Amino acid sequence: MNIKRAVITAAGRNQHSLPLQTLVDRDGVQKSALRIIIEEALSSGVEDICLVISPGDQAAYRAAAGDFHGKLQFVEQSEPLGYGHALLCAREFVSREPFLHFVSDHLYISKESRRCAQQLVEIAATEACSVSAVQATRESRLPYYGAIGGKRVAHRERLYEVDTVREKPTPTEAEQNLIVPGLRAAHYLCFFGMHVLTHAIMDILSEHKAASANGHLQLAPSLNALADRERYLAYELAGRRYNLGVKFGLLNAQIALGLAGGDREEVLSQLVEALAARVGDCAPCREN
């Protein structure tokens, strides 16, 4: 499996401004979240990137990409018809080839020398099938993520055969359908915001669009159908995702980037000072 193309979806109503936010990366350089995601994609060997955006956003995204704007192709999602529909907009770009897919409101920090995207692409190439990155996630975070059910691949660490996919399941639904042996209690394998997908996903999305009364498509039902149609795996990467779209998401991502880089000691020192100042401010409250 040779993966040379990536698709980043950035057309969601509550999502499209997040990739334009400026952070300080682990090297201490200010850059947009979009540029950090593009660098993640290119680290895996990807050569061309398609960005699915809302109409009128191209200039802002081109500016946020900086020197990498020449690597981008833009496709507009003319109507807000869902995540699956946004991905389907890139069908012509990916053609019949496997591709790397990112959501644009997540950042990723690896725990090893290989970046998260490189880890995922390598396991997909080895297994020659679709692979979604997942992270063990506590039950209280289920409203923010899609989740999978399945079983461990024999004699393979952190690799799972997917048999079920659900979008933002309730705790009851997760307990009934998404238990994965070996995980801690009340934890589920939730999506990481990064996938390697074969062209079959575009065929399934197209079929679901044709069957939809209003053309609205989410991705999870098509991934669930993918698990029925061909081999589909999930892989726990050596790393963590940071969702920019949740409360304090940008703050958490910035702290994580700072702690992962060469300025770690300075970041820790500033955090300790801030906490000490907060404790000091609260001292009179305790006395009263």
pTM of the model: 0.92
Domain-embedded: residue 154 = no
Domain total in the chain: 1
Whether residue 27 is contained in a domain is answered as yes
Q: Tens digits of per-residue pLDDT, 140-151?
A: 999 999 999 999
Tell me: the pLDDT tens digits for 177-189? 999 988 999 999 9
At residue 285, does pLDDT exceed 60? no
In a domain, 171, yes or no: no
* pLDDT of res. 255: 93
Q: 47-81, pLDDT tens digit by residue?
A: 999 999 999 999 999 999 999 988 899 999 999 99
Q: How confident is the model at residue 274 (pLDDT cuts 50, 70, 90)?
A: confident
Q: Assess if residue 173 is contained within a domain.
A: no
Q: Is residue 260 part of a domain?
A: yes
**Cβ neighbours of residue 6 under 8 Å, at least 6 residues apart?**
41, 44, 46, 48, 49, 50, 99, 100, 101, 102
Is 43 inside a domain boundary?
Answer: yes
Share of the chain above pLDDT 90, in %: 82
Average pLDDT, stretch 238-260? 94
* Residue 84 structural domain: 5-136+191-287
The CATH number covering residue 196 comes to 3.90.550.10
Give 111's pLDDT tier (boundaries 50, 70, 90).
very high
Closest listed residue to residue 16, CA positions, set 34, 31, 39: 34
Q: Does residue 35 fall inside a structural domain? A: yes
**Opening angle at CA 14, ends 204 and 221, nearest 5:** 20
Count of CA atoms in the C-beta half-sphere (13 A) of 6: 29
Residue 246: how many other CB atoms lie within 10 Å: 13
Q: What is the mean pLDDT of residues 203-231?
A: 95
Is 271 part of a structural domain of the chain?
yes
